[in-house]
Structure 1
Amino acid sequence: MSLKSFPKPSELPVPAGAEGWEKIYPYYLVFQDKLKDAEDAKFWFCDSQHWPTVFKPFETIGGEFAVKCLGQYNARHLMIPNANGIEFRIHLGYLYMSPIPVPEEKIAGRVPHFEQRVGHYFQNWDELLRQWHVKVRGTIDEMETLSFTKLPDMVPMEDITTGKAKDGSEVLLENYDRLIQLAYQNWQYHFEFLNLGYIAYLDFFNFCKDVFPNIPDQSIATMVQGVDMELFRPDDELKQLAKLAVELGIQPAFSNTDDVQATLDAIAVAPGGRRWIRQYEEAQDPWFNFTVGNGFYGHDKYWKEHQEIPLGYIADYIRRLDEGQQIMRPTEELIAEKERIVGEYRDLLDGEAQALFDAKRGLAATAYPYVENHNFYIEHWTMGVFWRKIRELSRMMHAEGFWTEPDDLLYLTRNEVRDALFDLVTGWGVGAEPIGPTYWPEEIERRRGIVDALKTARPAPALNTPPASITEPFTRMLWGITTEQVQQWLGAGEEVEGGGLRGMAASPGVVEGIARVVHDSDQLAEVRQGEILVATVTAPSWGPIFGKIKATVTDIGGMMSHAAIVCREYGLPAVTGTGSASTTIKTGQRLRVDGTKGTVQILDAEEPELVAGPGTHSHSHA
């Protein structure tokens, strides 16, 4: 049977131990009793694609900056005729979004502004994108200069003789504010081109659907995909390093990559090892500013600080090369396939229609690579530096007795951190004890309990009644939240033959294989050769495992989600936006994934044997 709507926020049970959770987040991020009728009248979907785990209070910064800045480009910069931004709330620790439509009577008035503004970008694309790189790099470079060091017992004598008349605490306070502002600055830059990439793609997409009514969505995506993308560079660098290691015959040095120093020492003394180390060091800047997560959480591990991760991937590539496997992406085949599809569709048109096809496809192919590449500069590089600086501040305050664990700052909101910092410098400045060490440890323990309790429940995929149709471009392309998909979640769509799940046909092909359900990046080591990856969502940085798996199935994500794009680049079938694959499917079950139709069949209904991968100890959280 099918339902008409999803639960209301107030109908979802609060997990035991999470009572009072609303108070750990800023007031403007939670549903309000006074606005209940208005908020219940809106449709909200859960963005577990970017925020798959519960927010600690400080981590809401990523959600706030990303969604606010996305919206400003729709609503204030580009004046997209039919779409404003996206409203967002945190409910039970997860982020929910509600796209804001433009009132019917205002759409026409926005069109000329939209054309003028978008036109400026598309006419000056290369030059503006070059400036974008300069701006973003400038922000990152300034972030790197900020530091949070303990204040001295007394100001140096030269501060007296030069008449400086300040104690250095102002630098600490300014650096914190500046760090927040710089992160905000790069998030504004983040969307300067991203929305344009989607607009150009959607324009070409709609044109194709118009002139070729039966064209598969994937064929449209194939016609514009970039093959040489910066987001693939970190992974490609590791492959080159694996090839060099095999060429030099230094494979034995990679026997235990968990011990980074011992591995690098063994390579250094091997014949040709110095040459390898040199290439390894060159690859790090900037390509190791890359996380196994997605950059939105304080616990995300970056390659730069956790070199056992890239070294482990290199060791795996070495093993595959030694087995005679092809590890490079099939770039030439991808280009040939793309040109074949472009040619076949182009030949079906003539005259003006063909010229329009060329122009629209050309624009989409120019703008499209940015959709993935920006990710490296913002989510990975900018946020990598940001979290490193936040940890430095947290550890300095931990040493001053403010909290019990080195990274506990994450349990404060960013404005509470300002208060705690002022408390610290006040106590120091007057020669008294600050209040924080007696206040924060207990409060942080209470919040830790709430966050842990919220983690025990999976989020509802959506809230309230869906609208008759969904038009906002991001919602459709990135999240895969289409009118049809939402009906499917409610159980109103077509049944999948033989039982199973339906989602977006995101990357073509049909395969059968054993499922491996992954809920977070720490479980990636469990994935075995030839398995089918089933996840809430995949991060772009999971690139190295796409060479191991046969197909991908996700709970959320559209044609432009990372899982869809990466699977197309690796020639693997993918079904995205199924709504519930990661909670329905169990590791070890046999699946048939049809990425051309968008269906996933579970071929054995009974409980599977648990397949423990290497280095696994427990599947309790799967």
Structure 2
Amino acid sequence: MDAKTPLFPSAFDVKPPKGAEDWQSLYPYYTQFQPSRRAEDDQKFWFCNSQHWPTPLRPFDVIFLDFAIKCLGQYNSRHLLVPPANGIDYRILNGFVYFSPVAVAPQDIEARIPHFLDRAGHYYGNWNELLANWKKKVRAATAELDALSFKTLPDVVPLDWVKGGVGLDNTNAIFEAYDKAIELSYKIWQYHFEFLNLGYAAYLDFFGFVKSQFPTIPDQAIAKMVQGVDSELFRPDDEIKKLARLAVELGVDGALMTGSVEEALAAVGKLPGGAKWLAAWKEAQDPWFNFTSGNGFYSTDKYWIDHLDIPMGYLRDYIPRAKAGERIERPTERLLAERDRITEEYREMMDEEAQAVFDGKLGLSRTVFPYVEDHNFYIEHWALGVFWRKMRELSKMLSEAGFWPDEDGMFYLSRNEVRDVLWDYAAAWAIGTPNVGSAVWPAEVARRRKLVAALASEPPIPALNNPPEVITEPFTIMLWGITSEAIDRWTGSADDSGGLKGMAAAPGAVEGIARVLRSPDQLGELKKGEILVTPVTAPSWAPVFGKIAAAVTDIGGMMSHAAIVCREYGLPAVTGTGTASAKIKTGMRIRVDGNTGTVTILD
């Protein structure tokens, strides 16, 4: 490939959408491509991580991009010394997030191996004990976050404070709560990656060993050997299914099927079995309704606990299916039987020495792999949901003080600008003058709101600069589905005359009507038996996997959430197609072959 003619444009040559010319003013300097570093940044291959950040970021939401990528890097580079991989460099371009994995220099890899074996080996050898401690740490930090509150400043300091010689005012509590919320969420993000990279590393080690024994084995067959996990990420969906079954059993199902959430619950309460069902509904909420319809990275995410119409909608879908005698639970027994069959077939073909290695690596993978999904519930859903709720409280309080007209105005400021606003709020209150921000921020928030909307008017460029001849970095392939073949699909250099190609992510083949969705807000449009086609799914979409026939995504690899969830629900899936959601329209009849990774438009 000629280095002088890049396959993808340079970040420095990409124009902003119309109306977003000043988009750089939204984001910190360190997230941007700097002209003085052009020579260096143009040498790197960057891909758009629209799997985790599918829409342009509001300024405040950069907080979790910062925390996530810094914390991912620290575990690779400073905690575990993963031999071939450091962290991931990141930039924002036109509001979208771009990644460039940072490899370890070949001559430095060997020196890191003993350190990694010592550090990672300790975790692998004490996994259950350390993981139990991890849950305690995360739950304690989440509870501490939940205990924070923001109270409007009073007209005067309480009299007992004055007479008690406290010597402070009510502003300390606001500063402390804000700083504590930031500090706790930063700690929580560090906890997020404490086990995650180890989960992937153990699976990739197992994957590499099996490939060395059977070079032509499908990636999917290896993935099946660790399927059937009892992941806590599936618990919210499982709880809704149990509630549906209970509603039918108690005869309160009819009362739940119409009206608002409040009206339905009130109708249930009047029925003989109503109290029992309502108690189960209440019990399921803590903690399982701390679940977002998005992925937790955005301040716009809607959480079940705050929007009970979301779980009620899923419940109303399950009730008639449960009543009709349909199986709504995941086919776990079938998956486990398939898992054991495939595992034994390949194991029998190895010699005794290889079998011993295989057994060890498989055992470790099955032990650690559930964390790859489980952590999502504790961090992205539960903990981050609490954080966003507290930030919405603060934004509303500052809105009432005149800083911005809409309750969500704060999310158009950076986290450091919010600190300045809090000072303005505190100082104006103390001095007895109007705050300055009410003359500054309403117009500025409106300007930024328009910029973010303009950025969302155009899709991101999938990648920047020249990719390497062959992509070998395992996380990039497994999680994001960035392969040499995927890049060919992006550029149109792959022959797609026979349909769309992607990763064979979950087995099976079906034909059906396509339903193209671009946001979790559209999930209610899905009809039973349709094929979901979307740029990317979130773990929280699990409740709809019980009604679809298959899934097709633009982005994602074998270990993306869409791939894992489809395998656990026994559904065919093709991920990483690049352009399926653009080329396929709702209502088209398509064929999805999760065995070969092909999607064919039939009409």
Q: Which of the five TM-score ranges fits, normalised by the shorter chain?
A: over 0.9
- Amino acid paired to 2:359: D
**Displacement after TM superposition at 1:10 (Å):** 2.7
Q: Match for 1:47 among 38, 46, 49?
A: 49
Structure 2 CA distance, aligned partners of 1:86 and 1:171? Answer: 37
Per-residue displacement from partner, 1:74-97 (whole Å, max 9, x unpaired)?
Answer: 111111111110000010010000
1:231 paired to 2:233: yes
Give the conservation status (yes or no) of the 8 Å contact 1:198–1:473.
Answer: no
Give the conservation status (yes or no) of the 8 Å contact 1:226–1:368.
Answer: no
| Matched residue, 2:488 | 487
**Displacement after TM superposition at 1:221 (Å):** 0.7
| Matched residue, 1:248 | 250
| Matched residue, 2:281 | 280
| Matched residue, 1:167 | 169
Give the conservation status (yes or no) of the 8 Å contact 2:55–2:96.
Answer: yes
1:552 paired to 2:551: yes
**Displacement after TM superposition at 1:432 (Å):** 1.0
Q: Match for 1:107 among 106, 109, 113?
A: 109
**Displacement after TM superposition at 1:349 (Å):** 1.3
Q: Match for 1:152 among 151, 154, 159?
A: 154
Structure 1 CA distance, aligned partners of 2:99 and 2:119? Answer: 26
Structure 1 CA distance, aligned partners of 2:350 and 2:234? Answer: 34
| Matched residue, 2:326 | 325
**Displacement after TM superposition at 1:4 (Å):** 5.7
| Matched residue, 1:511 | 510
**DSSP-derived class of the 1:505 partner:** strand
Per-residue displacement from partner, 1:495-547 (whole Å, max 9, x unpaired)?
Answer: 34x53211111001111111111100011111111111011110111111101
Q: RMSD of aligned C-alpha atoms?
A: 1.4
- Amino acid paired to 1:487: D
- Amino acid paired to 2:267: A
Please give the residue correspondences for 1:176-255 in structure 2 after superposition, counting only pairs within 5 Å. 176-255=178-257
1:438 paired to 2:434: no
**Displacement after TM superposition at 1:62 (Å):** 1.5
| Matched residue, 1:16 | 18
**DSSP-derived class of the 1:242 partner:** helix
Per-residue displacement from partner, 1:458-491 (whole Å, max 9, x unpaired)?
Answer: 0111111101233333212111112332233233
Structure 1 CA distance, aligned partners of 2:216 and 2:576? Answer: 21
Give the conservation status (yes or no) of the 8 Å contact 1:556–1:577.
Answer: yes
Structure 2 CA distance, aligned partners of 1:481 and 1:69? Answer: 22
**DSSP-derived class of the 2:306 partner:** coil
Structure 2 CA distance, aligned partners of 1:603 and 1:289? Answer: 40
| Matched residue, 2:77 | 75
Q: Match for 1:64 among 63, 66, 69?
A: 66
- Amino acid paired to 2:340: E
**DSSP-derived class of the 1:586 partner:** coil
Structure 1 CA distance, aligned partners of 2:357 and 2:398? Answer: 60
Per-residue displacement from partner, 1:95-124 (whole Å, max 9, x unpaired)?
Answer: 000000111111111111111111111111
**Displacement after TM superposition at 1:311 (Å):** 1.0
Please give the residue correspondences for 1:376-395 in structure 2 after superposition, counting only pairs within 5 Å. 376-395=377-396
Structure 1 CA distance, aligned partners of 2:537 and 2:263? Answer: 31
CA spacing shift, 1:543–1:255, aligned 2, 3 Å = same
Structure 2 CA distance, aligned partners of 1:197 and 1:143? Answer: 27
| Matched residue, 1:91 | 93
Structure 1 CA distance, aligned partners of 2:419 and 2:470? Answer: 43
| Matched residue, 1:305 | 306
| Number of corresponding residues | 601
- Amino acid paired to 2:540: S
Give the conservation status (yes or no) of the 8 Å contact 2:246–2:277.
Answer: yes
Please give the residue correspondences for 1:444-593 in structure 2 after superposition, counting only pairs within 5 Å. 444-493=445-494, 495-496=495-496, 498-593=497-592
**Displacement after TM superposition at 1:12 (Å):** 2.5
Moved more, 167-176 or 221-230: 221-230
Give the conservation status (yes or no) of the 8 Å contact 1:242–1:314.
Answer: yes
Give the conservation status (yes or no) of the 8 Å contact 1:507–1:573.
Answer: yes
1:120 paired to 2:122: yes
Structure 1 CA distance, aligned partners of 2:507 and 2:96? Answer: 31
Give the conservation status (yes or no) of the 8 Å contact 1:516–1:586.
Answer: yes
**DSSP-derived class of the 1:538 partner:** coil
Structure 2 CA distance, aligned partners of 1:468 and 1:182? Answer: 42
| Matched residue, 2:594 | 595
Superposition TM-score, scaled by structure 2 size: 0.98
Task: Provide structure 1 residue ranges, at least 5 long, that are not aligned to the other structure.
Answer: 605-622
**Displacement after TM superposition at 1:581 (Å):** 1.3
Structure 1 CA distance, aligned partners of 2:186 and 2:316? Answer: 37
Per-residue displacement from partner, 1:232-251 (whole Å, max 9, x unpaired)?
Answer: 00000000000000111112
Structure 1 CA distance, aligned partners of 2:134 and 2:372? Answer: 14
Moved more, 28-37 or 394-403: 28-37
Give the conservation status (yes or no) of the 8 Å contact 2:535–2:553.
Answer: yes
**Displacement after TM superposition at 1:322 (Å):** 2.2
Runs of at least 4 residues off by over 3 Å:
none
Please give the residue correspondences for 1:360-399 in structure 2 after superposition, counting only pairs within 5 Å. 360-399=361-400
Give the conservation status (yes or no) of the 8 Å contact 2:539–2:561.
Answer: yes
**DSSP-derived class of the 1:524 partner:** helix
- Amino acid paired to 2:194: E
**Displacement after TM superposition at 1:551 (Å):** 0.6
Structure 1 CA distance, aligned partners of 2:256 and 2:14? Answer: 49
**Displacement after TM superposition at 1:175 (Å):** 0.9
- Amino acid paired to 2:38: K
Task: Provide structure 2 residue ranges, at least 5 long, that are not aligned to the other structure.
Answer: none
**Displacement after TM superposition at 1:133 (Å):** 0.4
Moved more, 11-20 or 269-278: 11-20
Give the conservation status (yes or no) of the 8 Å contact 2:12–2:33.
Answer: no
| Matched residue, 1:140 | 142
Moved more, 354-363 or 579-588: 579-588
Structure 2 CA distance, aligned partners of 1:193 and 1:226? Answer: 20
Moved more, 372-381 or 339-348: 339-348
- Amino acid paired to 1:390: M
**Displacement after TM superposition at 1:224 (Å):** 1.1
**Displacement after TM superposition at 1:227 (Å):** 2.9
**DSSP-derived class of the 1:224 partner:** coil
| Matched residue, 2:29 | 27
Structure 2 CA distance, aligned partners of 1:74 and 1:492? Answer: 34
**Displacement after TM superposition at 1:593 (Å):** 0.9
- Amino acid paired to 1:506: A
